Structure 1
Amino acid sequence: MSEPVIAVVGAGAVGGLIGILLHRSGTEVVAVARPETARQINSDGLTLHSPHFGDQLGRLTAVTEIPDGARVIVATKAYALPGIVDALRRAQPAEVVSLLNGIEHMDVLRRAAPDARVAGATIAVESTRLSPTVIDHRSPFLRLTVPAAAESTGVIAAWNRAGLDVTVGGTEAEVLWSKLRFLAPMALLTSYWRLPIGAARERDAALTTAVLAEVAQIATRDGVPSDPAQLARAIHALPAGMRSSLQNDLDAGAETELDAIGGALLRRARHHDVPAPRVQELLDDLGSHGAAA
């Protein structure tokens, strides 16, 4: 009996990159995209520019519906999740592994695919879609983190066969928070100052320190102990020229993940009665400049 196909929902900067790398390894993978994007991918393939993986053309198949019983990788932006719920229900997938930012999407996915193995994973990467068929992978890394309970899934096995950098361990909450507590200050600060992380983290050192302390306290009260000094070391270890996707979307006037990142933080803070005035300040400022808060 053949293995279920892996369907990457969202063939953008992250999903397209993962799809190309899986296809290169010989995995049966399809990209699930809107009709016009699917047509272009089927016509031109997906072109990858990457200092880490090299330039290459991936001739993977694109479809407009999730194949029945597929193993699904959800790699859309967080705000696109409501638009794929019905497609997941129809497909009755065997597995769903999410790469969405934030911590609030897992219940939605489990309700949409009640009979599937569903897991929340994270990815650390800087990747941009230059056009519907061209992806620019800019960071010298691509790191995937997966909860221990998902180690035996077919998706994670395929990532390992493809030679990707996969770390397995911890609970799902620990995995999701391990990214959000790092991503949120990076995204909010770069977007607030409209600067790469190197300049943004130094623009107002007191603000940076306060935001990191609030994020660490929220995560700790939500069950994932976090140290602001450790977060500061992680933020300062980033390449100085690195930008966040939230910042890029704001600059482009596009829909953003501000609510999934900053909004989720504030909702957890309120739930646990944790003061977060500096996170609120950044969120209010970014929301007033047209982000979807």
Structure 2
Amino acid sequence: MRYVIIGAGAVGGTIGVRLYESGQDVVLVARGRHLAAIRDGGLRLDDPDRSRTVPVPAVGSVRDVDWRIGDVAVLAVKSQDTVAVLDELAAVAPDVVVACAQNGVGNERAAAQRFARVQAVLVILPAEHYEPGVVVVTSGPVPGVLDVGTYPTGTDDVSEAIAADLAAAGFSAHADPAVMEAKYGKLLTNLANAADAACGGDDPGFPALAEALTAEGRTVLDAAGIVARTGEDQRVRDEGILVDRPVAGQERRGSSSWQSLQRGTGSIEARFLNGEIVALGSAHGVPTPVNAALLRVAEEMASHGEEPGTRSAEELLAGKA
């Protein structure tokens, strides 16, 4: 089995390096300066215990991959890039297994519209990517949790094989027949990503804002009859599976959405996190004013190139930002 990691940023880069180090056949799909840096000198992974640079093969597009029978395409791009990547992938490798190692719950739906074999991956992986050719993961010795199951439910031999390979690479990974329930639970946690990006987690009003976002999300999922297995992120930390530690003396700076604003990418994932709740709320007659406001603000900040942490949590919660 070969792993083609599409999106070699914080999550994809960490997965790719760890699988490569464990002896798996890996190809990264990256772009721009990040791709150039990987090709020139390899991909550097910094974690709490060490830093190393590995010569993982990298290409610039799924069209540049020599697709083989048995390949697994691990989708690790931000959700706003999913559809374009899937359409390109379907044109060159229509029979490939697609594993969605992403936040949100819409990526699997989009993949299942184009591919017969889709795996959902719960991602709890505290990692960062700011510098071309460098990825940082802030948990050790276990870098993250990556549970796998077939979409929409169940497991199969591929789920088991992927989970086993990830576990051998140092992750906490299991085949989970109800992995989408866990991903809906993670969605509730990730609703605060937009708040972190907008005002920063150290804003005194952040906890109240995050709780308001989550409360709306819970109400919406209950109305929609969707089961969300909550608390996985806290559980793995309480059990010592994930241990957040400084890397080179520096703590993790922010969520994936915070990182998007910091890097000035021009886009942000809020449409597929908070927007999922807003859309479901509209469909089921549940008001979602806080998530709608954060979605608007996050997208405005991204499109205008605004720095993260420049808004007030109190004003966002009051609907004044």
TM-score, normalized by the shorter chain, greater than 0.5 = yes
Taking the aligned partners of 1:221 and 1:242, their CA distance within structure 2 comes to 35
When structure 1 is superposed on structure 2, of 204-213 and 123-132 the one drifting more is 204-213
Query: Is the partner of 2:273 in helix, strand or coil?
Result: helix
Taking the aligned partners of 1:19 and 1:158, their CA distance within structure 2 comes to 12
Q: TM-score, normalised by structure 2?
A: 0.76
Q: Which residue of the partner structure matches residue 136 of structure 1?
A: 136
Contact preservation (8 Å) 2:20, 2:56 = yes
Q: Please give the residue correspondences for 1:59-74 in structure 2 after superposition, counting only pairs within 5 Å.
A: 59-63=55-59, 64=61, 65-68=64-67, 69=69, 70-74=71-75
What is the deviation of 1:170?
Answer: 4.2
Taking the aligned partners of 2:37 and 2:10, their CA distance within structure 1 comes to 15
Q: Which residue of the partner structure matches residue 315 of structure 2?
A: none
The one-letter code of the counterpart of 1:8 is I
Q: Cα–Cα, structure 1 residues 276 and 45, in superposed 2: closer, same or farther, change >3 Å?
A: same
Asked if 1:262 is matched to 2:258, the reply is: no
Asked if 1:79 is matched to 2:50, the reply is: no
Taking the aligned partners of 1:285 and 1:36, their CA distance within structure 2 comes to 29
Taking the aligned partners of 1:172 and 1:16, their CA distance within structure 2 comes to 22
Q: Please give the residue correspondences for 1:179-198 in structure 2 after superposition, counting only pairs within 5 Å.
A: 179-185=186-192, 187-193=193-199, 195-196=200-201
Contact preservation (8 Å) 1:45, 1:57 = yes
Asked if 1:152 is matched to 2:157, the reply is: yes
1:42 aligned residue (39, 44, 64)? 39
What is the deviation of 1:166?
Answer: 1.1
Query: Is the partner of 2:130 in helix, strand or coil?
Result: strand
Question: What per-residue deviation string (whole Å, max 9, x for no partner) do you get for residues 263-283 of structure 1?
Answer: 112111112222212222222
Contact preservation (8 Å) 1:147, 1:168 = yes
Query: Is the partner of 1:67 in helix, strand or coil?
Result: coil
Query: Is the partner of 1:131 in helix, strand or coil?
Result: coil
* Structure 2 unmatched ranges of 5 or more: 245-250, 305-321
Taking the aligned partners of 2:211 and 2:297, their CA distance within structure 1 comes to 18
Q: TM-score, normalised by structure 1?
A: 0.82
Taking the aligned partners of 1:232 and 1:56, their CA distance within structure 2 comes to 27
What is the deviation of 1:37?
Answer: 4.5
1:250 aligned residue (254, 261, 285)? 261
Provide the aligned length of Structure 1 versus Structure 2: 279
Taking the aligned partners of 1:207 and 1:232, their CA distance within structure 2 comes to 19
What is the deviation of 1:96?
Answer: 1.2
What is the deviation of 1:146?
Answer: 2.2
Taking the aligned partners of 2:155 and 2:232, their CA distance within structure 1 comes to 26
The one-letter code of the counterpart of 2:113 is R
Q: Please give the residue correspondences for 1:265-280 in structure 2 after superposition, counting only pairs within 5 Å.
A: 265-280=277-292
Contact preservation (8 Å) 1:182, 1:231 = no
Taking the aligned partners of 1:258 and 1:178, their CA distance within structure 2 comes to 16
Q: Cα–Cα, structure 1 residues 13 and 232, in superposed 2: closer, same or farther, change >3 Å?
A: closer
Asked if 1:7 is matched to 2:4, the reply is: yes
Q: Percent identity?
A: 23
Query: Is the partner of 1:168 in helix, strand or coil?
Result: coil
Question: What per-residue deviation string (whole Å, max 9, x for no partner) do you get for residues 55-101 of structure 1?
Answer: 11211111343432321111111111123123321123442111122
Contact preservation (8 Å) 2:186, 2:233 = no
Query: Is the partner of 1:31 in helix, strand or coil?
Result: strand
Q: Which residue of the partner structure matches residue 123 of structure 1?
A: 123
Q: Which residue of the partner structure matches residue 177 of structure 1?
A: 184
Q: Which residue of the partner structure matches residue 57 of structure 1?
A: 53
Contact preservation (8 Å) 1:7, 1:67 = no
Taking the aligned partners of 2:129 and 2:207, their CA distance within structure 1 comes to 32
Query: Is the partner of 1:56 in helix, strand or coil?
Result: strand
Contact preservation (8 Å) 2:191, 2:274 = yes
What is the deviation of 1:6?
Answer: 1.3
Q: Cα–Cα, structure 1 residues 67 and 111, in superposed 2: closer, same or farther, change >3 Å?
A: farther
RMSD: 3.0
What is the deviation of 1:227?
Answer: 8.9
Q: Which residue of the partner structure matches residue 220 of structure 1?
A: 222
* Structure 1 unmatched ranges of 5 or more: none
The one-letter code of the counterpart of 2:171 is L
Query: Is the partner of 1:166 in helix, strand or coil?
Result: coil
When structure 1 is superposed on structure 2, of 7-16 and 102-111 the one drifting more is 102-111
Q: Please give the residue correspondences for 1:156-167 in structure 2 after superposition, counting only pairs within 5 Å.
A: 156-167=163-174
What is the deviation of 1:159?
Answer: 0.9
Query: Is the partner of 1:121 in helix, strand or coil?
Result: strand
When structure 1 is superposed on structure 2, of 267-276 and 136-145 the one drifting more is 136-145
Q: Cα–Cα, structure 1 residues 217 and 242, in superposed 2: closer, same or farther, change >3 Å?
A: farther
